[in-house]
Amino acid sequence: MMSASLEVLRADITTLAVDAIVNAANSSLLGGGGVDGAIHRAAGAELLDFCRTLGGCETGEAKLSPGYHLPARYVIHTVGPIWQGGNSGEPEQLAACYKNALELAAQHDIRSLAFPSISTGVYHFPADAAARIAIDTVLTTLAQQPAIERVLFCCFSEADRARYAALLTVKDVNKPENPQ
């Protein structure tokens, strides 16, 4: 049975005091737009210097860096797929982002982490499908990673927050043991 709590919130991911935040990075890991740029700006120049040593990252893979000036101790960088219509392995690649980020977190004793909505910005992955893949993959992966205690889905927009919250309600996660 999964013991981790799953939460949805609308917030700036760079302000969250969790063990790690996940960066929806590009393959260079050298910063970019959207959440990637915001994380690099908030973490400071040291993050860019460290990322230069990582040699980039393939789509679906995940790499770890210190959080530097962020409230989070670590940043888990993952590269989501660019949407090309859905028949080029994009759903499987997106699922791999979440799975690999959680496995990397478990390897480094990271107990709480926050995910943005990966690939739904400039990579144009359809938001509804991306949210379903994110939640399903996190639930499946957490069953094998009992040390992870808390996963946040950090949404940029109210529409995204509502989408994730509705899906989590349907999945009936975090159901209280003794409903009142």
User: How does 53-64 read in b/e, with b if 16+ C-beta sit within 10 Å?
Assistant: eeebbebbbbbb
Q: Which of 36, 49, 136, 160 is catalytic?
A: 36
Across the chain, which has 180 residues, the per-10-residue mean pLDDT values are 82 98 97 94 98 97 98 98 97 98 98 97 96 97 94 96 93 48
Q: Please compute, for residue 77, the number of CA atoms within 13 A of its CA located in the half-sphere on the CB side.
A: 27
pLDDT of amino acid 175? 45
pLDDT of amino acid 25? 97
Domain definitions of the chain by residue range: 5-171
Q: Is 45 buried (19+), middle (13-18) or exposed (0-12) by CB count in 10 A?
A: exposed
pLDDT of amino acid 173? 53
CATH classification code of 5-171: 3.40.220.10
To the query of whether residue 49 is one of the catalytic residues in this protein, the response is: no
pTM: 0.93
pLDDT of amino acid 172? 60
pLDDT of amino acid 179? 39
At residue 59, the 3 state secondary structure works out as: strand
